[in-house]
Amino acid sequence: MVKQAIILAAGEGRRLRPFTVNRPKAMISIAHKPILQYVIEALAQNGVLDIVLVVGYRKEQVFDHIGSGEQLGVNITYVTQAEQLGTAHALLQAREVAADEFLVMSGDKLIEADTVARFIETAPPAVLVKKVPDPVRYGVVSIDERGMVKSIVEKPKVAETNIANTGIYAFSREVFDFAAEVLDIPDALNNMISSGRNILAVETTGVRLDVVYPWDILSLNEAVIRRVPLGLGGVIESGVSLRGRVTVGQDTVIRANSTIVGPVVIGSGCDIGPNACILPATSIGDNVTVSAFTALQNSVIGNDVNIGPGCIIQDSVIGRGCVIKGHFTACTGQAEVKVNGEYHQVNLGAMLGEGCNLGNSVVAQPGAILGNNCQVQALKLVAGRLPDKSLVV
């Protein structure tokens, strides 16, 4: 059984902006925990306690939250990738501290313990694969009749198979000889295959979710909050209706006649209602105020957000520290969103970066993305993408 894992957590995640301007991709928070923490916990549950973290972009945030790993029951060794040149280059930074055999995985892809439970028993070299409906988003893996990898093609225009590379590998130290020649791990694998190495493909049906674009935060959030342990802390006033799987943190007040339909996770120190409506697949951070007659659905609300009365927010992500005055509307709808020159048709509400301040009766068109610290005056319509510190008057 493999006892060590090298987790690659140096990346920025430019396509996730504005949510990665102030934090690395692996530290995007889902239901009160960064993605990286879920990965470490999945490994710990399988007895993999020796963790090497390759960090780079905004690495101090990883240090501050993860620390030595003691609180998670693991031992963390840090190495730094000063320039984010690729996954093979990141792996090379761990050469001096790598064991004879080890796992490699990304710190920004959500996994569960069951996903890697069988894989840690597999002798290297091996790659964990999964059948997916949209393989062109990933590395497409071709497998021969023996179950060995024939090739990995990154994001092809046409996929030969529906089998995707999960980015989870079992290696021995020989991989470093091949990683030194390329920038990305799939290229190192293809070189290993060309040199005659057999690389086993192990299929999983377990949870493995990638966050590539801002709206992916919503699908990860929905998957996670269905598994968050139940708990009702704080104060639940009379006339409150709680249905389904609902978790409420300590010192939170759910005021009279509010309705919450799970799965919903609400953090600590929040003030919800009265007469608020929190609908399924919504995650609310700590110290959040949701005022009277406001409705939230399938949304992620960061810490320290203040939402005024009479707001309607659907399929949206609201970054930490936003202040939203009354009657804000962010309804879901079909939108064409441009990210890094790519166009995507998505059903979406609004994406607000950290520290935005919105006046009364602002309306966000579907797919609106506001950068960090934007200010929008009352009665304005916002659409498209606004850069950080925009002022809408």
User: Running along the chain, 393 residues long, what does each successive block of 10 average in pLDDT?
Assistant: 90 84 87 88 92 90 88 92 86 91 90 83 88 78 83 77 86 88 86 86 78 87 84 90 92 96 94 96 95 96 96 96 96 84 86 96 94 95 93 92
Residue 225: inside a domain: no
Residue 48: count other Cβ atoms within 10 Å of its Cβ. 20
CATH assignment at residue 180:
3.90.550.10
Q: Are residues 168 and 289 in the same domain?
A: no
Q: Are residues 299 and 189 in the same domain?
A: no
- 182, 212, 242: which is the final residue of a domain? 212
Q: Are residues 199 and 238 in the same domain?
A: no
Q: Are residues 207 and 317 in the same domain?
A: no
Strands 368-370 and 385-386, by their bridges, are parallel
Per-residue pLDDT, 59: 85
Rounded Cα distance, 136 and 156, in Å: 6
Rounded Cα distance, 4 and 167, in Å: 16
CB 89 within 8 A of CB 183: yes
Q: Are residues 362 and 280 in the same domain?
A: yes
Q: Are residues 20 and 165 in the same domain?
A: yes
CB 292 within 8 A of CB 275: yes
- Cis before 24? omega within 30: no
Residue 25: inside a domain: yes
Per-residue pLDDT, 12: 81
CB 71 within 8 A of CB 79: no
Residue 24, strand partner residues: none
Per-residue pLDDT, 1: 79
Residue 160: inside a domain: yes
Per-residue pLDDT, 195: 84
Q: Are residues 197 and 244 in the same domain?
A: no
Per-residue pLDDT, 335: 85
Max CA distance (Å), the chain: 70
| Calculated CA dihedral for residues 285, 11, 211, 30, nearest 10 degrees | -20
Q: Are residues 180 and 243 in the same domain?
A: no
Q: Are residues 192 and 246 in the same domain?
A: no
Q: How many domains does the chain have?
A: 2
The parent domain of residue 200 ranges over 4-212
CB 129 within 8 A of CB 161: no
Per-residue pLDDT, 339: 80
Per-residue pLDDT, 57: 87
CATH assignment at residue 375:
2.160.10.10
Residue 217: inside a domain: no
Per-residue pLDDT, 32: 81
How many whole angstroms from its chain centre is CA 204? 20
Q: Are residues 136 and 203 in the same domain?
A: yes
Q: Which residues contact 145 (CB under 8 A, 6 or more apart)?
A: none
CB 382 within 8 A of CB 365: yes
